[in-house]
Amino acid sequence: MAKNYRQIAAGAALAGAGLLIRWFSTRGSADEEFEEDPGLATLGEVEDAILEVEGFRVSFTHSSGRNARSNKRGFPPYQYQKKLNDDFSVKAYLKRRISYTYGSLLEEHGMTAVVEYADGAKVMGGAHLVTVRDSYK
């Protein structure tokens, strides 16, 4: 890092959440962007952790429907260690676990989370988690 740069975190809470931190020159030149916090997870790591904990795959897709790059860094690690109860619906899971943790980041990047059956088919929101998990057995 150059000595003439100082860090300005635009909103400490956002910087703590792993959003991009910008560096500004003390001489007033244009800002330079540096890599996001390496302690944050990639989308692939989040997807793998969800599969391990919950027992089903969640993929992140762009609004166009194409899958997001799994090497995209800047997401908090999946924080849950126990699976959500089988009686919950997919819609409730997405709201309680995905939207709560990743909602603003997904919205910012124009992405959504999709729960998948073992064969890769998209699960509708009314399906119960037990049904989804059973497809992986």
- pLDDT bin (cut points 50, 70, 90) of residue 65 is confident
- Over the stretch 19-46, which tens digit does the pLDDT of each residue have? 443 333 333 433 334 345 667 999 999 9
Q: Are the C-beta atoms of 116 and 137 separated by less than 8 Å?
A: no
Q: What is the number of other CB atoms lying within 10 angstroms of the CB of residue 111?
A: 19
Candidate from 4-18, 52-66, 96-110, 111-125 with smallest mean pLDDT:
4-18
45, containing H or E segment = helix 43-54
DSSP secondary structure code for residue 30 in this structure: -
Per-residue exposure over 8-20, b if at least 16 CB sit within 10 Å of its own CB, e if not: eeeeeeebebbbe
Q: Which has the closest alpha carbon to 56: 128, 121, 129, 112?
A: 129
- Residue 106 near residue 97 (C-beta atoms within 8 A): no
The whole-model pTM stands at: 0.71
